[in-house]
Structure 1
Amino acid sequence: MKFVQFARNETPNEVRVGYLHQFGVVDLCCHGCDMPRTMIEILKADIADKIRQLPENNPRVIHLSKVTLLAPITGVDKVIGVAHNYSDHCQDLGVDEPSVPWIFSKFPSTIIGPNQAKVDWQINLAFVIGRKASSVKAADAHKYIFGYTVAQDITEREWMLNQNGVHVMTLYPGDVILTGTPAGIGGMRDPPEFLKPGDVIRSEIQNIGVLTTSVEEF
């Protein structure tokens, strides 16, 4: 089941949550008016597994042309990125693989949905935390993951600031972790390909989905 947040075209400011079904979206509210209206509410209520068991026969499907897909999750506590996490990306940069993860944070307010206008670009596999995690063994880490999504890490290189940070933190339902970029980012191409107004970024991860973003000048 692929969860989505969306807005109906007639009510663009009303966030709803549902799941993809063939050529449309099923609004979870069709299963009862007491259903949460956002993805973060579902995770905090710990009812995602219950929703996955809902009957999918004869659902009321809203065609994709009648909705706007939004970011799959918003209102999160943390957005965490992991740098130099892929060996081929380290080779691109000509650096050694780090012995411990290089972690950086992003403001939750920077999360936007597909086709929303928003300068080195990267595609990331991201995962969403499903339940509170603290002092978790590596072998058990997968048990705390709710699901996966496609993310684009758009970086303003001139504004980067390196600081020492903590080594341990508690993760909460809805926290988003970007696993880092593989090789091939724009800044390492010959010649470099940085983003400019009018560009369109299309990122795809097999079996997960496609994320398209347009670049506009403000």
Structure 2
Amino acid sequence: MPKFARIVTVAGGPAHWAAQQGNDLIDLGPVPVGDDPAAWLQLLGNGAPAAALARGERLDATAVQWLTPVPRPGKVICLGLNYSAHAAEGGNAAPEYPAFFMRGATSLIAHQASLVRPHVSDKLDFEAELAVVIGRRARHLTEDNALQAVAGYACFNDGTLRDYQRRTAQWTIGKNFDGTGAFGPWLVPAADLPPGASGLKIESRLNGRVMQSDNTSHMIVTVAQALVLLSEVLTLEPGDVIAMGTPAGVGYARNPPVWMQPGDRIEIEIDGVGLLSNPIAQETK
């Protein structure tokens, strides 16, 4: 089944929708003015008409500019400590209630864009995560209907400045530096993956070296359970993103710690979802 992306085919040009079918990247045409997440997610839900795939121009995937799967999410909600082994490596017990926190849209970057190490810290860490993209407005979901609110899934790297994260009991400040949250490149329809995207291998690689390797079936709080808890509190809207936490193997827990450095490349790969790859660059003024 196709995977979908938002891309730019010509420098400075408009956003286009594209699909990966087999080894081909197929242009599905310009995104309507306004880049409305609801319209994008409706296309995703329709599975892209076969006619659009048949007549679309074949593109060189190395020559396009990738965009994030959702242009500017209204909410990016993240779960901390959602794999027991990751909680343990940091000396934490798995929380009784999920450690929710939020990211701002200005922290997000796309596939192949530079993940930025800021001037003020050299402790930039990686976190491979499954991202859930909401497809319809929802409140007070149940475990029986929660997954009906999911449009699709993507790869996410919850890049974190660990020293800033530890400066306060609230993690937000270490999780929101500009250009540290990589997202994409593909948005895979929920119907094309197991329910709740469970049972998928998830891995991070730094300069080709495997750092994290686990399975989404080991998440403490499932996608459905997370959506139930969140929708008790707030309205989920089309284009909202939920990042489902990271497995063990992060840089700060290693001896000695491993931080991402300018010139490095970090890859996040999830079976059936895709490969998210970003070089690391130093912040420039």
TM-score range, shorter chain: 0.7 to 0.9
* CA contact 2:70–2:239 (8 Å) conserved in 1: yes
Quote the offset at 1:43 in angstroms.
4.3
> What is the distance in 2 between the residues matched to 1:144 and 1:41?
12
Provide the C-alpha distance between the structure 2 equivalents of 1:156 and 1:61, rounded to a whole number of angstroms.
39
Matching residue of 2:126: 121
Aligned-partner Cα distance in 1 for 2:170–2:248:
25
Which residue identity lines up with residue 23 of structure 1 in the other structure?
A: N
Q: Confirm or deny: 8 A CA contact 2:45 2:151 kept in the other structure.
A: no
Is this contact kept in 1: 2:28–2:56, CA < 8 A?
Answer: no
Equivalent position SS for 1:142 = helix
Structure 1 equivalent of residue 258 of structure 2: 193
Q: Which residue of 1 aligns with 2:3?
A: 2
Which residue type is aligned with residue 121 of structure 1? Answer: F
The residue number in structure 2 matching 1:48 is 44
**C-alpha separation in 2, matches of 1:101 and 1:217:** 33
Q: Which amino acid aligns with 2:15?
A: V
Residue matched to 2:183: none
Separation in structure 1 between the aligned mates of residue 19 and residue 39 of structure 2, nearest angstrom: 13
**Distance in structure 2 (CA, Å) of the matches to 1:39 and 1:206:** 28
Stretch moving more, 89-98 or 175-184? 89-98
Q: Are the counterparts in 1 of residues 86 and 248 from structure 2 also a CA contact under 8 Å?
A: yes
- Tell me the distance in 1 between the aligned counterparts of 2:43 and 2:7: 19
- Which amino acid in the other structure matches residue 136 of structure 2? R
In structure 2, do the counterparts of structure 1 residues 47 and 70 end up closer, same or farther at CA, with 3 Å as the change threshold?
Answer: closer
- Tell which has more relative contact order, 1 or 2 (C-alpha 8 A, sep 6+): 2
User: Residues 93-147 of structure 1, C-alpha deviation per residue, up to 9 Å, x if partnerless?
Assistant: 2221111111000001211111211212111111100101111112221111111
Q: Of residues 88, 97, 100 in structure 2, which corresponds to 1:100?
A: 97
* 1:137-190 residue CA offsets vs partner (Å, 9 max, x unmatched): 1222111111111100111123234359x9711110000110000111111112
Taking the aligned partners of 2:272 and 2:97, their CA distance within structure 1 comes to 29
SS of 1:105's equivalent in the other structure is strand
Q: Select 1:139's aligned residue among 139, 144, 150.
A: 144
Contact 1:122 1:185 in 2 (8 A): yes
Task: Report the more deviating stretch, 197-206 or 155-164.
Answer: 155-164
TM-score w.r.t. length of structure 2: 0.68
**Gapped runs of 5+ residues in structure 2?**
117-123, 172-229
If the length of structure 1 is used for normalisation, what is the TM-score? 0.87
Conservation of the 8 A alpha-carbon contact between 1:43 and 1:130: no
Q: Distance in 2 between matches of 1:49 and 1:126?
A: 17
Aligned partner of 1:57 in structure 2 is 54
C-alpha separation in 1, matches of 2:150 and 2:38:
16
Cα drift, residue 12 of structure 1: 3.6
RMSD, aligned CA: 2.4
Mean Cα displacement is larger for which, 14-23 or 198-207? 14-23
In the alignment, residue 5 of structure 1 is paired with which amino acid? R
Alignment-derived partner of residue 182 in structure 1: 247
Structure 1 residues 194, 50: CA separation in 2 closer, same or farther (over 3 Å shift)? same
Say which of 130, 134, 138 aligns to 2:135.
130
C-alpha deviation, 1:58, in angstroms: 5.0
How many equivalent residue pairs? 212
What SS does structure 1 have at the residue aligned with 2:146? Answer: helix
Query: Do residues 74 (structure 1) and 57 (structure 2) align?
Result: no
Letter in 1 for 2:60: H
Inter-CA distance 201–94: structure 2 relative to 1 (3 Å threshold): same
Q: Distance in 2 between matches of 1:57 and 1:5?
A: 18
Change (3 A) 1:193 1:163: closer
